[in-house]
Structure 1
C-alpha cells in the first residue's frame, strides 16, 4: 500500500468505522480490504456502504448492475474492483462472455446490456457530459430516465471505491484469485 494508508482491523479501527466493519463481516463473512482502508475515515466508509445499499435499490437487475459496475470500473482502471466485481458478477450469474467482453472493452452480444455498458462507460469517461443521442440510445433499448439517473448512483459508488484503491493501492482479497486484471493503461497520475 502507498501514501501511508493501512488495512484497519475492526478491533482497532475508529469506533464509527468498527460498527460498519462488523456489519460488513456479518453480511459477507469477511471484511474486504477496501472497507479496511476506508475505515480510516468513518465518513468515507459510511458513504461507500450507504451508496452500496442504495445501488441495490436501483431499477437494474443484478445482472445489469454488475455490467454497469464493470463498465465504470474499466473506465476508472481499478484493478482491485475489477477483480472483485468479476467474481461478484459470476456469483450473480452474469454470463461469462459478457464479463469477458466488458473486461476487454468489447461489445456484449445482448443488445440491451451492450447499450447499458456503453452508457455507463461514457458517463464515467465523460464525467456525465453525455449527449442527447447517448441518452436516446440507452432509452431505445428499453431503459428510461430513472435508469439514466440510476447509472449515476452506480458511478458514485464506484468513484469512492475506485479512487480509494488508486490512492492506497489496495491489495486484492483472497476471493479475487483468478480474476486479476491488467489495466489498459490510459490513466496517468497527475503531476
Structure 2
C-alpha cells in the first residue's frame, strides 16, 4: 500500500478490466511498473494512460525529442517517480547523458534546438498552455511548427496522468530505476 491508501494492484487484485491491461503491460515490458499498479484502481485511468502513451509514439518527435519533452514536463511537475523512470528510458532511447543531466538539474541544454523544445514544453506545463507570442516564435525559430506545439500537448496529457497519480500515491520506485533517483530542486506545493 502507498501513501493515501493506494494499493499496488496486480492481475489478481485489480478490477477485471484493469487486470487485462496489466497482463498486456506485463507481456510488453516484462514487468508491471508500480505506476500501472496504482492506476489499476481505475480501469479508465489505466486505459487512458496506456492509450496516450501509445499515441505519444505517433507524434512528430524523434525518440530523443520525445524524451526531452517528457523530462522537461516531469521536471516542472516535480515527479520523482517519473524522473527516475524516464531518466533510464531516455538512456535507452540514446539521449545524450549531458542532456539528461542538464534537465534533471534545471540547467540549459547545449543543443539550441533541444533547448528550445525543452523550454517550450516546460513553459506549456508551468503556464498551463498560456504561452506568449514571443515564446511561440522562439519555438518556431528553432525549427518546430504548429504540429509540434500540439504534439507537446499529447505528451503533457500523458504526463499529467502519471505525474499527478504519483503525487497522489507517492508511488514507490521500481527496481529498474535504481541509480536514477531524483529529488526535485523546487517545492511546487509552496512555489505557487
Bin of the TM-score, shorter chain as denominator length: over 0.9
Q: Following superposition, which runs of at least 4 residues in structure 1 exceed 2 angstroms of deviation?
A: none
Match of 2:9 in 1: 8
Match of 1:173 in 2: 174
- The superposition leaves residues 57-106 of structure 1 with CA deviations (integer Å, 9 ceiling, x where unpaired) of 00000000000000000000000000000000000000000000000111
* TM, length-normalised to structure 2: 0.97
Match of 2:140 in 1: 139
SS state at 2:186 partner: coil
| Unaligned 5+ runs, structure 1 | none
Match of 2:41 in 1: 40
Match of 2:98 in 1: 97
Match of 2:24 in 1: 23
Which whole-Å CA distance do the structure 1 matches of 2:92 and 2:146 have between them?
A: 28
When the two chains are superposed, the root-mean-square deviation of aligned CA atoms in Å is 0.8
Q: CA deviation at 1:184?
A: 1.4
Aligned residues: 189
Where do 1:52-67 residues align within 5 Å?
52-67=53-68
Match of 1:154 in 2: 155
Q: CA deviation at 1:133?
A: 0.8
Which whole-Å CA distance do the structure 1 matches of 2:131 and 2:19 have between them?
A: 39
Where do 1:79-90 residues align within 5 Å?
79-90=80-91
Which whole-Å CA distance do the structure 2 matches of 1:65 and 1:9 have between them?
A: 29
Which whole-Å CA distance do the structure 2 matches of 1:15 and 1:148 have between them?
A: 37
Q: Would you say 1:110 and 2:149 are equivalent positions?
A: no
Q: CA deviation at 1:186?
A: 2.7
